[in-house]
Amino acid sequence: MRCFIAIRVAENIKSQAAQVQNRLSDLPMTCKFVEPENMHITMSFLGDADETRTKDVIAALDSICAGYKKFEAEASGLKMIPSASYIRVLAIDISDPAGSLDRLSKDIKNKIGGDVKPPHLTLCRVKSLADKQRVLSGLAGLKNASLGKSAVESVCLIKSELRITGPVYTIVHESRLR
């Protein structure tokens, strides 16, 4: 199955992210927005995993999460991935003052692997820019966008099924933090 590791976000964050998406929709670009029900904090994309690999990931995720207390993360600051000169993804940066999220991300990278990026909430995947300067000017106004805080209480292994209508995500396993 095609899967990834992620943290679910609070409804208030999804609502604020949808408002940012509305502002992005006014910019001269073609993109695919993430549906609010699919929004999450990306930790690691694993790709295709067989049953044995899935069991190993679940065991490692349970072990990692047992070492962390619940904490709060803040969603703020627009990110252009990979960079402002070549925008493929627009996302909101996710952080916490104590650094628990970064440590959790490093543990996932070291013990599970996959395509691990700094924690973020994807807003859209950019296909093309009709007027790059206008897009960059519009994004500058969102650079410090603050969506609020979300409790981090668990980390999920999520199955992703690609369909014509868009991806369908199913939680395969949820590892709780202490």
Per-residue pLDDT of 139-172, as tens digits, reads: 998 999 999 999 999 999 999 999 998 899 999 9
Q: Which helix (H) or strand (E) holds 137?
A: helix 132-140
What pLDDT, on the 0 to 100 scale, is given for residue 166? 85
Residue 40 is predicted with a pLDDT of 97
**Residue indicated by tokens 């070291």:** 110
Residue 28: pLDDT band by 50, 70, 90 thresholds?
very high
**Residue 4 confidence (pLDDT):** 97
pLDDT band at 174 (very low <50, low <70, confident <90, very high): very high
Percent of the chain with pLDDT over 70: 100
Structural contact between residues 13 and 37, judged by C-beta atoms closer than 8 angstroms? no
Question: 33 in helix, strand or coil?
Answer: strand
pLDDT of residue 153: 97
pTM of the model: 0.91
Statement: 2-176 belongs to CATH 3.90.1140.10: yes
The pLDDT, as a whole number, for residue 46 is 96
What residue segments make up the domains of the chain, in order of their start? 2-176
Dist. CA 23–CA 178, nearest whole Å: 38
